[in-house]
Amino acid sequence: MRARHHFHIEYLGHSISATVQTGDPGAVEVLVDGKETGNVTTHEDRTVLVRTELPTEPPVPVTVRATPGPGVPRCLLLGPDETEPHVMAPRIF
């Protein structure tokens, strides 16, 4: 059964959202400031990385690490150094 889960975080003055669609195949879509900046297909419950950039000068690379399962999906935002993850809060629409 397919389901959509939404996540959000404010980071360095930018709005970052992720939608995780479960199922096989599933998908992860990332938006930065309301614009789609990344999209990947998922298989089973494997964790995927979606690399994108914040629209700054110079651009700041960030990565969304999405885990579709098992259980409830979750997303983390990894900053430029990818060492300190930030939990992306679930959003209900």
The C-alpha atoms of residue 13 and residue 28 are separated, in whole angstroms, by 22
pTM over 0.85: yes
Q: What is the mean pLDDT of residues 33-55?
A: 94
pLDDT value of residue 2: 79
Task: Give the chain's end-to-end CA distance (angstroms, integer).
Answer: 19
DSSP letter at 71? S
pLDDT value of residue 59: 95
Strand runs (DSSP E) across the chain, as ranges?
Answer: 4-11, 14-21, 26-32, 35-42, 48-54, 60-67, 74-78, 85-87, 89-91
Q: What is the mean pLDDT of residues 55-65?
A: 95
Reading the block at residue 17, the tokens are 């959202």
The C-alpha atoms of residue 93 and residue 84 are separated, in whole angstroms, by 28
CATH level 3 topology of 3-91: Lipocalin (2.40.128)
